[in-house]
Amino acid sequence: MNTFRKKKSGFTLIELLIVIVILGILAALIVPRLIANTNRARNAEATNMLGAIRRAQLAQMDQAGVTTTTLANCGGTSSAQPTAACAGNPGWTALGLGTLPASRRFNYSCPQGPAATTLCTATKAPPTTGGLTRITMNVETGVIACVPASFAISDSTGVVACNG
């Protein structure tokens, strides 16, 4: 008499646990890197905007011999996206920056002064919860500084970026 046994199929509990542990380890390694990349992208926005301000200030210095008046806070808040950045500020308009895209993440300002002493600042818009709070750029030299300084990183060419 031949009896056929039905072969059992499926996964054992141990196999499922091993897969879950492996997925947990991979998630623990990948998630922090994704969060860091998000912060780097946000900070790149501020660095790029500060670079545009620097180039415009230097062009203004070459043409008129002086920098513009104080560039007051320009940017957004966490609750609303401005429609046009700095459109009513004569300093921003004189630089041709009155129509730059607005930001919800940073407020930009440059106090009046000689180009060599002017530090343009991108301050994180509220809410700020620890971490990087401000990025500054010297208009004359283009040197970037991160506040607090512990968030500054540099690559092999000496270019500084803010991470955090």
Is residue 66 in a domain? yes
Is residue 2 in a domain? no
Counted domains in the chain: 1
Task: Tell me the per-residue pLDDT of 107-135, one tens digit each, with 9 for 90 and over.
Answer: 777 766 555 456 778 887 776 666 677 88
Is residue 3 in a domain? no
Task: Tell me the per-residue pLDDT of 71-105, one tens digit each, with 9 for 90 and over.
Answer: 555 654 434 444 444 555 566 666 666 655 567 77
Is residue 5 in a domain? no
Is residue 157 in a domain? yes
pLDDT at residue 12 greater than cutoff 80: yes
Is residue 39 in a domain? yes
Against a cut of 0.75, is the pTM above it?
A: no
- Considering only CA atoms, which of 58, 41, 142, 40 is closest in space to residue 97? 58
Is residue 128 in a domain? yes
Residues 49-69 as b/e (b if ≥16 CB within 10 A, e otherwise) read bbebbbebbeebbeeeeebbe
Is residue 8 in a domain? no
In percent, the amount of the chain with pLDDT more than 70 equals 54
Q: Whole domain around residue 94: which residue ranges?
A: 13-162
